[in-house]
């Protein structure tokens, strides 16, 4: 295939409910949607998961646009690409900026799947027909509100409840949840809110039989996480610290992580995500697919990736209607009793509704 035209749109979608992490609160999701077209007119979509501000990692919507416009799109336009795995090689001269790279790489995977008449899941080598999903719940104003929310999501059938924690909203919260929901798979995500000095506090979490604690320490650390893991029984799962197969290998070899959260954007695309998945499978490290408050396009990519066999633990890909009044895809993503049916039609398997996309678009530009 040859990509002959790329359109980048800045979309702005209101979240149904604010989402709070240890870093702050989101009420709106601003992101880039990328539409690529090849010489035969096949259209593929990719989503940038970079946020408006650099709280999760160093990338932002604007740095992604800059990288795409000035570096990545020029490396792709009118080049003969036989397989999406080649995109990684084309991007080798550019350091990091993984979310920007992933945006266009995802669209190329979508086109490749359509042209080979496969679902994106099949193109990736995935076999599951349905995937198990959990839900990620932000920091709430009160424990009562959190318990009520968890009750609702457990009743909806989500297979695992993840709760954001931060200093002052941690041990008591997890104790209460474990008491109220003795048989539910529960985990905590700290988004790097602690330091190794907090070991005594973090050890208290071991009493609650949590499935894992996600990224307790610094966002660029693997050494302290290894030290912490030796002092905790709860498995540590790294999110922010893992940007590549090499990072995953080092973290596993050091004993810094027993489980890995794979996010396509954070690792630079589906090809690298698959490599990390394969390595973890060999090492006996279970993985799961993280979420970044994606629109339907990013959600569709996450669903396809999760069909790979070592995605053993439920991910964060919840129903579209948990986030949005109206998603940009049709049909919307629906989790029923904690399962999402994997679409079997070619490509991402959902139709992107361009009228809905236009209604959320605040800026756009085409490159050819
Ligand atoms: O750390 O997994 C995270 C959302 C935004 C940024 C980082 C994270 C999250 C979530 C929510 O936990 C996942 C989702 O529901 O999409
Ligand atoms: Mg996380």
Scan for tokens 């036989």, then name that residue: 82
pLDDT attached to residue 24 = 84
Note the ligand closest to the C-alpha atom of 56.
1
Tell me the fold of 122-341: TIM Barrel (3.20.20)
Q: What whole-number distance in Å separates Cα of residue 243 and Cα of residue 249?
A: 11
Comparing C-alpha atoms, which of 119, 179, 60 is closest to residue 341? Answer: 119
Query: What are the structure tokens assigned to 140, written together?
Result: 């709430």
pLDDT attached to residue 33 = 98
Residues of the chain with CATH 3.20.20.120: 122-341
What global pTM score does this model have?
Answer: 0.98
CB 259 within 8 A of CB 212: yes
Residue 155: cis peptide before it, omega within 30 degrees of 0:
no
pLDDT attached to residue 118 = 98
Q: Which CATH superfamily is domain 3-118+351-367 in?
A: Enolase-like, N-terminal domain (3.30.390.10)
Q: Which residues are catalytic?
A: 164, 263
pLDDT attached to residue 22 = 82
CA of 261 to the centre of ligand 2 (A): 8
- 3 state SS of 131: strand
Query: What are the structure tokens assigned to 193, written together?
Result: 């809110």
CA of 205 to the centre of ligand 2 (A): 17
pLDDT attached to residue 23 = 82
Neighbours of ion ligand 2 (CB under 5 A): 189, 214, 239
pLDDT attached to residue 349 = 98
- The series of mean pLDDT values per 10 residues for the chain, 368 residues long, is 98 96 91 98 98 96 98 98 97 97 98 98 98 97 97 97 97 98 98 97 98 98 98 98 98 98 98 98 98 98 98 97 98 98 98 98 98
Maximum Cα interatomic distance, the chain, rounded to a whole number of Å:
60
Closest-lying ligand 1 atom to the alpha carbon of residue 26 = 5
Which residues, in sequence order, are CB contacts of 83 under 8 Å at separation 6+?
Answer: 112
CA of 164 to the centre of ligand 2 (A): 8
């Amino acid at each position: 295939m040859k990509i002959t035209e790329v359109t980048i749109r800045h979309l702005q979608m209101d979240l149904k409910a604010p989402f709070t992490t240890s870093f702050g609160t989101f009420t709106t999701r601003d992101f880039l949607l990328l539409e690529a077209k090849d010489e035969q007119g096949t259209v593929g979509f990719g989503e940038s998961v970079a946020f408006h501000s650099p709280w999760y990692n160093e990338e932002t919507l604007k740095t992604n646009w800059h990288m795409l416009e000035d570096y990545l799109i020029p490396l792709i336009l009118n080049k003969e690409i036989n397989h999406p795995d080649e995109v990684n090689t084309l991007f080798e001269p550019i350091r990091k900026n993984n979310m920007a790279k992933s945006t266009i790489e995802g669209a190329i995977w979508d086109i490749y799947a359509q042209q080979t008449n496969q679902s994106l899941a099949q193109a990736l080598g995935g076999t599951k027909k349905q995937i198990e999903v959990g839900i990620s719940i932000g920091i709430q104003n009160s424990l009562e509100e959190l318990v009520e929310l968890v009750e609702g999501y457990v009743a909806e059938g989500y297979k695992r409840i993840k709760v954001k924690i931060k200093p002052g909203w941690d041990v008591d919260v997890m104790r209460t949840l474990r008491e109220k929901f003795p048989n539910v798979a529960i985990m905590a995500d700290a988004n790097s809110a602690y330091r190794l000095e907090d070991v005594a506090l973090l050890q208290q979490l071991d009493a609650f039989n949590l499935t894992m604690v996600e990224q307790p320490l610094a966002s660029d650390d693997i050494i302290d996480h290894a030290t912490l893991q030796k002092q905790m029984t709860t498995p540590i799962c790294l999110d922010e610290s893992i940007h590549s197969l090499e990072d995953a290998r080092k973290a596993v070899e050091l004993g810094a992580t027993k489980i890995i959260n794979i996010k396509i954007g954070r690792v630079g695309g589906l090809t690298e995500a698959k490599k990390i998945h394969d390595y973890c499978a060999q090492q006996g490290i279970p993985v799961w697919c993280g979420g970044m408050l994606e629109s339907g396009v990013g959600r569709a990519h996450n669903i396809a990736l999760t069909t790979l066999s070592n995605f053993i633990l439920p991910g964060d890909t919840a129903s579209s209607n948990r986030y949005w009044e109206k998603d940009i895809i049709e049909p919307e993503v629906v989790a029923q009793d904690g399962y999402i049916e994997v679409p079997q039609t070619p490509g991402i398997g959902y139709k992107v509704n361009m009228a809905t996309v236009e209604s959320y678009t605040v800026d756009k530009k085409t490159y050819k």
